[in-house]
Amino acid sequence: MAEKRRTLRWWHILLAVLALAGAGVAFAYQRLSIPLPESALPADYRPDVKNGERMYFAGGCISCHRGIGPFVELPAGGRKMKIPGGEIVPPNITPDDETGIGKWRPIDFLNAMRRGLGPDGTHYIPAFPYTSYAWMRTEDILDLFAYLKTLEPVRNEVPLKTARLDRFALAFWKWLALPPRPFRDLPGKDALWNRGAYLVLGPGHCGECHTPRNGIFLLDRNRWLAGAPLLTEKGDAPSLRGLKKRKRYKDVNDLMQALKYGEAMGYEDLSAGGMGEVQSNLSRLPDADLKAIATYLMSLD
């Protein structure tokens, strides 16, 4: 009799502990799924479409969201891309009301870029490099949204892959992976350097390929841009540190030419493993931005 009562008590405690842990996880999950409110938007902001176009090319959106057939020049989505452990199909981000982001409000777009969170609460898979885009300034994100709205709407349904459990776990991963705040200029560095650092860290998402990751896919900030194996194919993204010391590029101007012209001007090392697409997007940026990126990269030892 006594024996039986003890067993019951033991189970009660275990159940209570499990219930508490479950409630804790559910509570944390809910907290992590709260979108940014409208008040996160600057009041009366008038977006600059031209700057939005710049962000579009700095961000390389077309590399992944490129459409098929007649829509190759538009981010209508639908092309498979490899990710660790499977495949994913980047969706349609043209302003089509039914199948794109035509009905999105600016705050929805901000939540996608800054928090990796969809309007329906979906936690996005980080193949969409929002962990870098989250560093972007709110104004730049809103300008980009305004630019996307000027594109031709394409009707192309690309449903997101649904893996509920993965997306649940993502909420917690994002809590570790997302930067605490947008980019701030580093005091003591000049405007050109800071512009370069911003473009590389935020929109350019260069670290997503060039920085090694730890066991749970978090970027290793201690080895920033030190080179890493590619996640989507064989090969490596080389180190972007010590480019000057290793005599990869003569000077800032040389690297700037490489970013601008790539293979076309004999800079062979910017073509493979997705870098060709990156370079062709970068070539659309004004020289001042390319110079900024080159200045920042050449300063890394």
Which residues of the chain form contacts with ligand HEC (CB under 6 A)? 59-61, 63-65, 88, 90-91, 93, 101, 112, 118, 124-125, 127-129, 133, 144, 160-161, 200, 204-206, 208-210, 230, 235, 237-238, 240, 248, 269-275, 278, 282, 293
Nearer CB in complex with ligand HEC: 12/105: 105
Which of 295, 291, 264, 296 lies closest to 280, judged by CA? 264
Output 174 or 205, the one with its CB closest to ligand HEC. Answer: 205
Nearest CB to ligand HEC, comparing residues 135 and 215? 135
Determine the Cα–Cα distance for residues 264 and 275; give it in Å rounded to an integer.
14
d(CA 126, CA 274): 17
Task: Using the minimum distance from each CB to ligand HEC, give the nearer residue, 188 or 266.
Answer: 266
Residue 265 has φ and ψ, to the nearest 5°, of -110, 25
Alpha carbon distance 128, 160 (integer Å): 12
85 backbone φψ class: left, alpha, beta (φ>0; ψ -120 to 50): left
| 125/178 with CB nearer ligand HEC | 125
Q: Give least dist CB 280 to ligand HEC, A.
A: 11
List of residues 6+ apart from 137 with CB closer than 8 A: 182, 183, 198, 202
Q: Is 114 exposed, middle or buried (0-12, 13-18, 19+ CB in 10 A)?
A: buried
10/45 with CB nearer ligand HEC: 45
Q: Tell me whether residue 134 or residue 275 sits nearer to ligand HEC (CB atom).
A: 275
Tokens linked to 259: 């970013």
The residue assigned the tokens 């305004």 is 146
Q: What distances in angstroms separate CA 131 from CA 35, 109, 115, 276, one per listed residue? A: 16, 14, 8, 22
At closest approach, how far in Å is the CB of 31 from ligand HEC? 20
Q: Least distance to ligand HEC from the beta carbon of 60, Å?
A: 5
Tokens of 29: 């999950």
Q: State the minimum distance, in angstroms, from the CB of residue 246 to ligand HEC.
A: 8
Of the pair 12, 103, the CB lying nearest ligand HEC is at: 103
Total residues found in the chain within this entry: 301
| Token pair for 184 | 């701030």
Shortest gap between Cβ of 64 and ligand HEC (angstroms)? 3
- The closest of 104, 101, 49 to 74, measured between CA atoms, is 101
To the nearest whole angstrom, how small is the minimum distance from the Cβ of residue 180 to ligand HEC? Answer: 20
Residue identified by tokens 């009301």 is 97
- Provide the minimum distance between the beta carbon of 63 and ligand HEC in the complex, in angstroms, as a whole number: 5
Shortest distance in whole angstroms from residue 214 CB to ligand HEC: 18
